[in-house]
Amino acid sequence: MKRLLFLVPFFLLLSGSALSQNASYKVVFDLTSRDSLDQKAVMRWIKEITSANPNAELEIVMYGKGYEMVMPEKTAVPAELTDALKNPNVAFRVCRMALKSNKIDMTQIAPGVQTVPDGVYEIISKQHDGWGYIKVSH
């Protein structure tokens, strides 16, 4: 019994120290909606996460109609987008297939936004590499 009383706190101490180590903070956000509430939500999360952990790596992958968030003429979050694009740890990636199927040219997309060939594959690849996944929804 004495041994058990010693081991339980010992393992709790070990588990606590393992959690407090600097684990990487990498999250990929999945945005498919043109909904302004979804745009505002993801921008709020970016701001909150980068404020709490400036080294966090965030990627917003847009396909479906999600690309409208990075179109200056259609975005519901122009100021927030401009600020987020200045952060080197935040990447905005638009699916080329979504742009092509909606006849959107890259000249209609905010400077600094990058494309990926396939948005779904980009997300799957990030998850495979250990990134967390968040579906943007309100």
Q: How confident is the model at residue 138 (pLDDT cuts 50, 70, 90)?
A: confident
Contacting residues for 27 by C-beta, under 8 A, at least 6 apart? 49, 56, 57, 58, 59, 131, 132, 133, 134
Q: Is the pLDDT of residue 107 over 60?
A: yes
2 domain residue, yes or no: no
Which residue is listed with tokens 């990447």? 91
Record the pTM.
0.83
- Is pLDDT above 60 for 13? no
- Residue 11 inside a domain? The answer is no
The verdict on residue 130 lying in a domain is yes
The structural domain count of the chain equals 1
Q: Residues 16, 17, 23, 25: is their CA dihedral positive or negative?
A: positive
Contact status, residue 39 vs residue 70, Cβ threshold 8 Å:
no
Does residue 89 fall inside a structural domain?
A: yes
- Burial label, 40 (beta-carbon count in 10 A; 0-12, 13-18, 19+): middle
Residue 10 has pLDDT above 70, yes or no: no
Distances (CA, A) of 1 to 9, 11, 14, 113, 116: 13, 16, 20, 61, 59
Per-residue pLDDT at 4 = 43
Residue 17 lies in a domain: no
29 is in which domain, residue-wise? 24-135
Q: What is the CATH number of the domain that holds 28?
A: 3.40.1260.10
Tell me, what's the pLDDT at 17? 42
Q: Answer whether residue 55 is part of any domain.
A: yes
pLDDT tens digit sequence for 28-82:
999 999 999 999 999 999 999 999 999 999 999 999 999 999 999 999 999 999 9
pLDDT at 11: 47
Under 8 Å between Cβ of 53 and 25? yes
Whether the pLDDT of residue 116 is over 70: the answer is yes
The verdict on residue 10 lying in a domain is no
Is residue 6 one of the residues assigned to a domain? Answer: no
